[in-house]
Structure formats: C-alpha cells, structure tokens
Structure 1
C-alpha cells in the first residue's frame, strides 16, 4: 500500500482536494503500473509558517512524501515525481521551485492493511 502524503500551504476547495487526490491515485497507478485500489492519499493544508524551503520563492508550497515499496527503477520514480510537480504548478499555481517530492522506500512486508501484508516488488 503506497501512502502519498501531500503537505501544502495552498487553501484547497473540496473540489480541488478531490481532484488532487484522484490525480495522485491515477498518476501513481499508471506510472508504477499497479492497481489504484490500494493507493492511500492524505492531504494536509498547513499555514505558511508551518512549511519552508531554502531555495523557494514567494508563493504556495507543495511537498509530497511518497512512502512506497522499494525496488522500482529511478526513471519510474522520477516520472511520477515530475507528474506530481507539474500538476502542482499547473493546477495549484505553485511556483516551480516550491514543489518537491521525496520517496521513502520500504520492504513490502512493512506495508500492511487489515486484510493483507505486502510482498516484495517485482516487475509485472
């Protein structure tokens, strides 16, 4: 179960929040070649004083922490990260320097739901 945690200083409408959630699920499932039914998303809207970036510019910030199962190639992760950052720029009006993505990779067995425990990643 990947967990995509988006933190932002944007004030999102319910529609924008739902659209961003749907985008993250779809982009992850498509890029990572997996089913969307197990992708978890959380969005935290924080005050500007709660987020900062050293090389940022004035404007809203968007940081995505992508907790994923380890093993995917760099190119695949980079493609997903670029999609997320481009979405933040085009749909949320975030300046390019203010959009960041970080991946934390876990063994499959660290990813759990009540009904199952993940297994090792393998190319389909």
Structure 2
C-alpha cells in the first residue's frame, strides 16, 4: 500500500487535484505492476516560504515528494515513476522540474496495514488486496 506524499508551496484547485490523483495512481500502477485501489495519496499545500530546495530561486514554487513503497521494485521502475511524477507535477501543478525532489522509502509488506489485514511483500502482477 504505497503512500505517495506531495508537498507544494502553492494552492491547487480541486479539479486539478482530482486529475493529478488519477494520473499519479495510473502511472504508479502501470510502472509498478500493481492495481490502484490500495494507493494512498496526500497533497499538502503550504505557504510560499515553508519549503526550500537549494537549487530553486527564492520565492519559486516547489514540490517535495516522499514515496513510501514496498520493497522489491527495481531502480529502473523507481526512476520511471520519478520521471513520470515530475512530468505530472510540471504539467498539472506548473512547477518547474528543477524545483522538484523525490525521496523513496522502501518497507516490508507487513509495514502496510488496512483494516482487513497487512500486505505481503510485493510480487510482480499481484493483486495486493486479493
């Protein structure tokens, strides 16, 4: 059950957020070879100067992404997701690619809990909620 967290220093309208969530879910599911119904996404809007990244110009819009995922994905899969997410952030949130930063944190499957159960470790082509 990935938790994909996006922190931005600007306000985003609801319609754009809905499209963003749809594109993020579909991109993650496609690249990571899983389904969408267990993907958790949070979008946090903060004030202009609440975020910083060294390479950004002061006052620029920034997006920091923390992606908590299950172990087992390749560096190629993680890189593909990173590039897709950066493109989506750029297109929908209009944040320069240079002002985006992604951190992956990998967990054992049993670190992710739903009311029904915890998840197993990731396996290609799985249905994590089956």
What TM-score bracket applies, with the shorter chain setting the length?
over 0.9
Q: Distance in 2 between matches of 1:92 and 1:121?
A: 30
| Runs of at least 5 residues in structure 2 that lack an aligned partner in the other structure | 126-130
Residues 34 and 124, structure 2, Cα contact 8 Å, conserved in 1: no
1:73-110 Cα shifts (integer Å, max 9, x gaps): 00001000000101112222111210111100000010
The secondary structure found in structure 1 opposite 2:34 is coil
| Alignment partner, residue 31 of structure 1 | 31
Q: Distance in 2 between matches of 1:33 and 1:78?
A: 14
Shift, 1:17, TM fit: 1.1
Q: Distance in 2 between matches of 1:94 and 1:113?
A: 33
| Alignment partner, residue 107 of structure 1 | 108
Q: Given the two structures, how large is their TM-score scaled by the length of structure 2?
A: 0.90
Flag the structure with higher helix content: 1
Q: Over aligned residues, Cα RMSD in angstroms?
A: 1.1
Number of paired residues?
Answer: 124
Divergent runs of 4+, >4 A: none
